[in-house]
Chain A
Amino acid sequence: MELETRLGTLQVNEEEIIHFPVGILGFSEYHRYVIVEQEGSAFSFLQSVDDPELSFVIIMPELVCADYSVQLRDEEVDLLQIQSPEDGKVYGIVTIPENVAEMTVNLQAPVVINAKSLVGAQFIIQGDKYHTKHNVIAEMHKNAYLLQKQSESQEGEEKIQESV
């Protein structure tokens, strides 16, 4: 099937369409999406098949926030027919304002997709650790700082081992 989207003409194969039984919150009438990846980019598009005008930019949350993890509730696991943790792919929806540097990612309501059964849903994480507007660039810098610290401490450990 061919779709005329903001991204241009997209060739969509039936077998790559992800079904959202509940829909994205606020867009509950749309149930079919495809993920459009771009080589070399951390970002992808979540493109509606039902409405070619509707698309979102998404990113894997762990690229923004290294310790991000989602604990699905039983009914969410059931809804997505997830059998093992590897089945689930998690994405955060990115909001891009006029000033691109101010882009934010919604870590409170990630999109979770079962890559095997191609069923997806947007879930809301309980608790107040995550909210709807994490500044992508600020979080990435925090991440880079943490990663650097981690690699430094690993090097430290290696040195200790060498000296033993």
Chain B
Amino acid sequence: MLVLTRKVDQSIMIGDNIRIVVVDVRGDQVKIGIDAPRDVMVHRHEVYEDIQAENQRAALKRQIDLGVLERTIRESKPRKG
């Protein structure tokens, strides 16, 4: 991995269109600004991983009958509490 040292307000270019700015540093927290084209999605890594994993789980592995889902809802009882 390439490691660069930057000061507050200094930035890094990734390719021609993505600019990363160090906005603020306080203790062990770094505030980062990102300028990227609109079709580049920018997310916190842990959020990204979480959603990717949920999508993998949601991708159908078997045939699902929507009627069964409807019936399950109709026949369900409100949970107590």
Contacts and interface: CB of A to CB of B under 8 A. Distances in A.
A33 to B, nearest CB: 12
Contacts of B66: 38, 41, 43-45, 57
A75 B38 contact: yes
Interface string B40-76: 0101000110111111111110111011111011001
Main secondary structure of the interface of B (DSSP, over half): helix
B78 A145 contact: yes
A7 to B, nearest CB: 8
A137 interface: yes
Interface in A89-138: 93-96, 100-101, 103, 106, 108-109, 122, 124, 132-133, 136-138
Size range of the chain B interface in the assembly: 20 to 34
B16 interface: no
B58 A100 contact: no
Query: Which among A79, A133, A137 has the greatest number of chain B C-beta atoms within 10 A?
Result: A137
Interface in A10-37: 21-22, 24-27
B69 A96 contact: yes
A149 interface: no
A26 B58 CA distance: 11
B39 interface: yes
B79 interface: yes
A54 B59 CA distance: 6
Contacts of A100: 68-69, 72
18 contacts: A7-B63, A21-B39, A25-B55, A41-B70, A42-B70, A55-B59, A56-B59, A57-B60, A79-B38, A95-B57, A100-B68, A100-B72, A103-B72, A106-B58, A109-B55, A133-B54, A137-B76, A138-B79
